[in-house]
Structure 1
Amino acid sequence: MVSERASERPYDLVLFGATGFTGGLTAEYLAAQAPEGCRWAVAGRNRAKLEELRERLGKPELPLLVADSADPAALAEVARSARVVISTVGPYVRYGEPLVAACAEAGTDYVDLTGEPEFVDTMYTRHHARAVATGARLLHACGFDSVPHDLGVLHTVRELARVTGREQLDGPVTIEGYVRVAGTFSGGTFASTLTAFSRPAQMAQAAKARRAVEERPAGRRVHGVMLGPRWSKDAHAWVVPLPAIDQQIILRSAAALPQYGPDFRYGHYAAVKRLPIALAGIAGVAGIAVGAQIPPLRRKLEELRPSGAGPDAAQRARSWFTVRFSGEAGGHHVWTEVSGGDPGYGETAKMLAETALCLAYDDLPKAAGQLTTAAACGPALIDRLQAAGISFRVLDARPAQAPGHFTG
């Protein structure tokens, strides 16, 4: 349920950053899938572009809100007008905080699709306490980073509880996730990645500050595991550590939810069929990480994919993702998979929009502050995503092939 302060407002949802690439896809999804009677609006800094978007959507009555990420007063008005605000304006570490602050102050639920650990950690230390006081729920990483991973682990934990015959796991739990994707990315995503890679010291500092104040689960342990490149029987592929925000989000869900057991371990990996591809991927990421920290090289990298650009519909239609999970507890072993289409854009827009709709309409556990999707939405969001075409399935046995394109 939304906070009492947000219960009587003009809009159920406001989409901020609607004229960007992913923002536009999210607007298209809401235009097609928002329930009848949903009061929603789009917001951004350029009224002319908002009007173009409204015309493209075929929604002549869709309200337009003009606000700039550098105008706190305008953002406060946006936050006060909505039950839930969706933000697609990145890089979030540069542009995201004023809207988070406005939502925390107004008791307004907030969702975004950041994959920037520094931003998430900083928002916790600065705005979690105020959000708890006002009843606001602040959910970051609500796209491909990190919804299928976070909810996939929750799905796996629930399956382990089923096969062990326990409502709550009472012994060690070990889960690994193996990610395979076929797709491309937009200029905005690339810009956010470069920003994150260019600030390693700030990222480490923000993580340390968040850990110093975040409440830890009493009597329970949560561990991240990151082994080196190796062949995995469960992935049936070579796996390499995946330096994404997903593991952090999953471990915070495990800390928040007792059903993950008293001793929870998780490792997060990319799965590839051939070792040379894995090693080339590691080298490529390392090269971008180094280049992002050298201003002239960073400017050259930014020119490769300008902000606002993204894959066309045909490219997105060929894209897919599958995340396989291997889980062990109480002498039992289970395998699950989460699969869908274009991970970077089509499915990210779907995940983002459905998370917002879940907060707005579903009967969820009472909670406030900075939360993960598993902690805030849990099975209700899994159900929504399954209804929207994203597959959550349990495998009968250890698979004999690598994670691939699952078509149902």
Structure 2
Amino acid sequence: MATRRPFEMVVFGASGFTGQYVVEEVARVAAQEEIRWAVAGRSSEKLQAVLEKAAVKLGKPELKSEVAIILSDVSDPSSLANMAKQTAVVLNCVGPYRFYGEPVVKACVENGTSCIDISGEPQFLEGMYLNYNDKAEEKGVYIVGSCGFDSIPADMGVLFTRNNLKGTLTALESFLTIKFGPEGSCIHDGTWKSAIYGLSDQENLKKLRRQIGHKPIPVIGAKLKRRGAVFYCNELQQYSIPFMGADVAVVKRTQRYLHTHLQETPVQYAAYATVGGIGSVIKLMFAGLLFLMLVKFNFGRKLLIKYPEFFSGGYFTKEGPTEKQMEGSSFEMTFFGEGYSSGKDPQGKPDVKICTQVKGPEAGYVATPIAMVQAGVALLKDKSSLPKKGGVYSPGAVFSKTKLIDRLNKHGIEFSVICKPEA
């Protein structure tokens, strides 16, 4: 009989910018879900300060004395092993993951612990699949990346749309709209750094994918037409551009898994972001061209990292958003899907359409902690609905049969059907 571990969930990197908000979210959820939890990181003083801040903000003074502190550092494998041995699930908030993520995954796999992160870095996510999928399967643990805003709304949104279409969904487009309040908003520059390193390393990503050697996913039904670099979305009446995040790569991994292992019809997917009017388009194009030019060179990357606010037009800062900025911000992700009303082998023109939406609070530091924590809860509470084998998974692959969407709906990330054809 397995020895019961002291904790079910540990927040690693709890004193980081994102980690502090994950701590607050765990504190909200732990009592109602009866979860034993702890925080982990390098500095006992900083971790205690995070717990004290959360205690005041949430009106839970008991946090200061009841939540355990585990000292752990990514540069110290023994400390990571010690952390992993004490819990069922690690919520890893230490990025950029391409530099700091693998030691945590390794420690978790070796010590029979599941791990969740919020990485939007395909190189890291797919590298962990290549290096640790077999070992995680042997140990029966689940390593699940991109469980924040990248890419829970997109990945689970595709599955929600599929489940609500009367017929076979074969193609889907999503449009992300970020809304700011009167205070505006911004993103902490940790995300900016991840984007810089990722875009500068595309060749290695291609090499990594060749090593993995997956066969192409079959195209079922009419082929989804790709939009241009800038286009006007008639449905939303806004100019739009391709979304540069990890959503497409993550959804593709999920669709491959569902097709290969569960024989489900794969869904073609394209992701876009709305940018508003023509003035925003011009500003964005200028900033984007400058970014792409600088990111190719070492000196350019150093400039981008040193001056994130200048080169992003104030969108990325070293301080991150204020509480007021977060309170006034929200996101909407609208999905336009099409498919076939009958038949296992769809042919010709699609004859059914559907529109769904995922919406929620500020994406980076409110929605992301909600998504991450509920993913952790699903691993703990929905065990019978998880894949029978452990491994390195995308969110949709591991959570497709669980209650994750219901859990998210109850905690402020709402999935809804906007319109669908009559039955």
User: Do these two structures clear the TM 0.5 threshold for a shared fold by scoring above it?
Assistant: yes
1:304 aligns with 2:319: no
Structure 2 residue identity aligned to 1:40: W
Which residue of structure 2 lines up, in the alignment, with residue 63 of structure 1?
68
Aligned to 2:98: 93
1:255: which partner in 2?
256
Q: CA offset at residue 115 of structure 1? A: 0.6
Distance 1:67 1:263, change over 3 A: closer
Deviation of the 1:351 alpha carbon: 0.8
Q: CA deviation at 1:393?
A: 0.8
SS at 1:56's partner residue? helix
Q: Are 1:93 and 1:116, in contact at CA under 8 Å, matched by a contact in 2?
A: yes
State whether residues 171 and 224 of structure 2, in contact with CA within 8 Å, keep that contact through their aligned partners in structure 1. no
Note if 1:388 corresponds to 2:411: yes
Distance in 2 separating the partners of 1:158 and 1:138: 25
SS in 1 for 2:132: helix
Contact 1:226-1:268 at 8 Å conserved across structures: no
3-state SS of the aligned residue for 2:363? coil
TM-score (structure 1 length as normaliser): 0.87
For residues 331-372 of structure 1, the C-alpha deviation after alignment (integer angstroms, 9 at most, x for no partner) is 110000100110011111111111111111224233421112
Assess, with a 3 A threshold, how the Cα gap between structure 1 residues 328 and 106 changes in structure 2: closer, same or farther.
same
- Residues 354 and 253 of structure 1: CA distance in aligned 2, closer, same or farther (over 3 Å): same
Does structure 1 residue 281 correspond to structure 2 residue 284? Answer: yes
Unaligned runs of 5+ in 2: 56-62, 180-184, 309-315, 341-350
TM-score (norm 2): 0.84
Rounded Cα–Cα distance in structure 1 between residues aligned with 2:154 and 2:266: 19
Q: How does 1:350-369 map to 2 (within 5 A)?
A: 350-363=370-383, 364-365=385-386, 366-369=388-391
1:173 aligns with 2:170: yes
Q: Is the Cα–Cα contact under 8 Å of residues 85 and 111 in structure 2 kept in the other structure? A: yes
Task: Tell me by how many angstroms 1:216 deviates.
Answer: 7.1
Cα displacement string for residues 102-132 of structure 1 (whole angstroms, at most 9, x for unaligned residues): 1122221111111111111111111111001
Contact 1:230 1:239 in 2 (8 A): yes
Tell me the CA shift for residue 324 of structure 1.
0.4
- Residue of structure 2 in register with 1:405 after alignment: none
2:290 aligned with 1:294, yes or no?
no
Match of 1:374? 396
Which deviates further from its counterpart, 221-230 or 119-128?
221-230
Residue among 147, 151, 176 paired with 1:142: 147
Q: Secondary structure at the match of 1:252?
A: helix
**Are 1:222 and 1:255, in contact at CA under 8 Å, matched by a contact in 2?**
no
Partners of 2:10 and 2:87 within 8 A in 1? yes
2:8 to 9, 12, 15: 12
RMSD: 2.6
CA distance in 2, matches of 1:135, 1:82: 15
**Residue number in structure 2 paired with 1:403:** none
Partner of 1:113: 118
Q: Are the aligned partners of 1:237 and 1:274 in contact in 2 as well (CA < 8 Å)?
A: yes
User: What is the rounded CA distance, in whole Å, between the counterparts of 1:223 and 1:275 in structure 2?
Assistant: 30
Contact kept? 1:180, 1:321, Cα under 8 Å? yes
1:197-236 equivalent positions in 2, closer than 5 A = 197-210=199-212, 212=213, 214=214, 226-228=226-228, 229-236=230-237
The 3-state SS of whatever aligns with 1:231 is: strand
Distance in 2 between residues matched to 1:53 and 1:381, nearest whole Å? 27
The separation in 2 between residues aligned to 1:334 and 1:102, in whole angstroms, is 43
Partner of 1:401: none
Unaligned runs of 5+ in 1: 399-408
- Deviation track 1:46-99 (CA, whole Å, cap 9, x = no partner) reads 122112122223311211111111111111121121100011111110111000
The 8 Å contact of residues 222 and 264 in structure 1, kept in 2 or not, is answered as no
Q: 1:263 and 1:55, CA in 2 relative to 1: closer, same or farther beyond 3 A? A: closer
Match of 2:31, SS? Answer: coil
For 1:14-53, list aligned pairs within 5 A.
14-36=10-32, 37-53=34-50
Alignment of 1:75-94 (within 5 A): 75-94=80-99
Percent identity reads: 29
1:395-406 to structure 2, matched below 5 A, reads 395-396=418-419
Structure 1 SS opposite 2:187 = coil
| Distance in 2 (alpha carbons) for counterparts of 1:374 and 1:15 | 22
117 and 356 in structure 1: CA distance in 2 versus 1, 3 angstrom threshold: same
In structure 1, C-alpha distance between the alignment counterparts of 2:7 and 2:15, rounded to whole Å:
19
Read off the aligned partner of 1:239 and give its amino acid letter: S
User: 1:134 and 1:224, CA in 2 relative to 1: closer, same or farther beyond 3 A?
Assistant: farther
Cα separation, 2, equivalents of 1:28 and 1:374: 25
Q: Is the 8 A contact 2:256 2:266 kept in 1?
A: no
CA distance in 2, matches of 1:56, 1:246: 33
Distance 1:265 1:176 in 2: 8
Judge conservation of contact 1:157–1:260 (CA < 8 Å) in 2.
Answer: no
